[in-house]
Amino acid sequence: MSTLEIRDLHVSVDTESGPKEILRGVDLAVKSGETHAIMGPNGSGKSTLAYSIAGHPKYQITKGTVTLDGQDILAMTVDERARAGLFLAMQYPVEVAGVSVSNFLRTAKTAIDGKAPALRTWVKDVNGAMERLGMGTDFGSRSVNEGFSGGEKKRHEIVQLEVLDPKFAILDETDSGLDIDALKVVSDGVNRFHDKGGKGVLLITHYTRILRYIKPDYVHVFVDGRVAEEGGPELAEKLEAEGYAAYVATAKAGA
Ligand code: ADP
Ligand code: MG
Ligand code: MG
C-alpha cells in the first residue's frame, strides 16, 4: 500500500506585478488502488497542482508538503519523481523534435528502471499498448508530439502510462479535445491501468463526461486554489447537474 499525500500546499508563480499565489492550501491523499477526480472551473489551479507535483520550475512551493510513502517528492529532481513511481501527463505535452515515440518510450523506461528493458518483451509491450490505443504501427517512428492531433497526444500519454507502469498517475485534462470514440479508447486505457491493481489515479478534469467511463472512488471540487468540497462519485453527478457556480460564489464570499 502506497500513499501520495499533499498537505497544505501553497504555490505561487512570478508575474509582471510580482508573485501570485495560485494554490492556497491544498490537502489531498491518494492511496494505491484509488481513483480520485479533481474537478473545477477553468483557472482554479488544477494544472498548477499537476505542474507543481511534476516539478515544473515555474511554480514555487511556498508552503506545504508532497510526499510519497513519506518521501519528500518536492526535494526530488523530475527524474527522481518518475523513478519514485509518479507519472504526470501534462495538459500541453512538449514537442521533442527528432525523437521517435519508440526511442522516447525506451529512454524513459530505461531511466525509470535503471536498466534497459529486454528487447523481445519490450517490442511486444510497446506494440501491444499502441494497438490497444488504436494507433497504427507507424506511430512508433513518429517524432514525439510533432504534428500530433489533440487525440494522438492523449493516446500517446496513455501508451506511456501502460508501458512505464508507474504507481501513481496524474492525468491533467486527459479528456480535452477528444471525440467520443477517442474518449472511450483513452478511458479504457486508464481503466486497464487501474485494473492492474495497486495503482493510484488522480484524474484532473473540467468536464464530467469522462466520469461516465472512468469511475472515481472520490471526487474533489477544486475552486480558487484549494479543495472546496469532497465526496464520492455522486458528487460528479451533482456537478454535472448544477455546475460549479455555487462553489465559486462560496469561495468568493469567503475570500
Ligand atoms: P486550471 O488548470 O484549473 O484551469 P491553472 O492552474 O492553469 O488552472 O491556472 C490557475 C490560475 O493561475 C489562472 O488564473 C492562471 O492564469 C494562473 N497561472 C497559471 N500559471 C501561470 C503562470 N505561469 N503565470 C501567471 N499566471 C499563471
Ligand atoms: Mg476503483
Ligand atoms: Mg488546466
Which numbered ligand comes closest to the C-alpha of 49?
Answer: 1
Residue 47 has a pLDDT of 94
Residue 91 has a pLDDT of 47
What's the 157 CA to ligand 1 centre distance in angstroms? 22
Residue 206 has a pLDDT of 86
Residue 249 has a pLDDT of 87
Which residue in 85, 84, 86, 82 sits closest to 107, CA to CA?
82
Given a cut of 50, the residues of the chain with pLDDT beneath it are: 91-92
| 194 within ligand 1 shell (Cβ under 6 A) | no
Q: Which class is 3-90+167-254 in CATH?
A: alpha beta
**What φ, ψ does residue 114 adopt, rounded to 5°?**
80, 5
Please name the residue whose Cα sits nearest to atom 5 of ligand 1. 45
Which numbered ligand comes closest to the C-alpha of 224?
Answer: 1
What's the 1 CA to ligand 3 centre distance in angstroms? 29
DSSP secondary structure of 139-203: GGGSEETTT--HHHHHHHHHHHHHHH--SEEEEESTTTT--HHHHHHHHHHHHHHHHTSS-EEEE
What is the grid cell recorded at 244?
A: 460549479
Q: Which pLDDT tens digit goes with each residue over 46-86?
A: 999 999 999 988 999 999 999 999 999 999 998 899 999 99
Please name the residue whose Cα sits nearest to atom 15 of ligand 1. 43
Which numbered ligand comes closest to the C-alpha of 197?
Answer: 2
| 43 within ligand 1 shell (Cβ under 6 A) | yes
Which residues, 6+ apart, have CB-to-CB distance to 216 below 8 Å?
35, 36, 37, 203, 233, 236
| 226 within ligand 1 shell (Cβ under 6 A) | no
Residue 148 has a pLDDT of 87
| 12 within ligand 1 shell (Cβ under 6 A) | no
Output the CA–CA distances (angstroms, integers) from residue 30 to 4, 22, 95, 222, in the order listed.
5, 21, 30, 15
Residue spans of the domains in the chain: they are 3-90+167-254
